[in-house]
A = this chain, B = another copy of it.
């Protein structure tokens, strides 16, 4: 164990989740660990930041080589608080976000607080790995995710020619370990979530709704997509970037707006 290295860990399920504990243990095998995780569950918080409220931080635990803090904000707040305050000026070797209870494949990369945090960390030029499993239950089994996560972290830390702002969206299928066939580098699957709204009334007759969705895969047969990989027994690894420009639409848009 190289005590010189500094690994930062965060997540979106909160500092007390099982997946977070698994990520801290994973990171511990590679160096000193400093972790900041949300005080409360922040699932589905995407890249949200706290602009109009103060943030409260507290140290949750400190023991040999591990310091854990909780923050009253979002996953991205946790990363900003770490890199621009708590660790300001210190070199961080790697960031692990997760391990998330639930998949962040396809367009879920955009809704995910886990991936929001991983992307934000990559903005500080630190390689960042978002790690998720397809099982979203509280007591999910993280063993396979830890095993593949360890392999990926080792490869990234061992490489001397990483792309700049490397950010990985790693999703591990929750199937028996012996049925997992290995890892695949994938692209984000095309498709969208469609919701159902369950209407109900509270005891005072006030109407309310629960939102619940399902993913509509527009290309279930695309073997280079992350959904295909997961459905076929592979760990899906998607490199992520944040230039959202639709380059392919620029010329046509200029014509439509009559400004070329």
Contact = CB atoms under 8 A, between A and B. Distances in A.
Identical copies of this chain, number? 2
Prevailing SS type, chain A contact patch: mixed
Interface residues of A, number: 84
Interface stretch (A2-10, A89-97, A248-256): A248-256
Contacts of A151: 257
B109 A257 contact: no
A116 interface: yes
Nearest to A109: B244
B209 A85 contact: yes
Contact of A163 (B237, B239, B244, B249): B249
Given A48-B111, A124-B192, 8 more contacts: A51-B211, A54-B210, A57-B209, A109-B244, A155-B257, A156-B256, A185-B259, A241-B249
Interface of A: 41, 43-52, 54-57, 73, 76-77, 80-81, 84-85, 107, 109-111, 116, 119, 123-124, 151-152, 155-156, 159, 161-163, 166-168, 182-185, 187-188, 190, 192-197, 200, 206-211, 213, 237-250, 252-254, 256-260
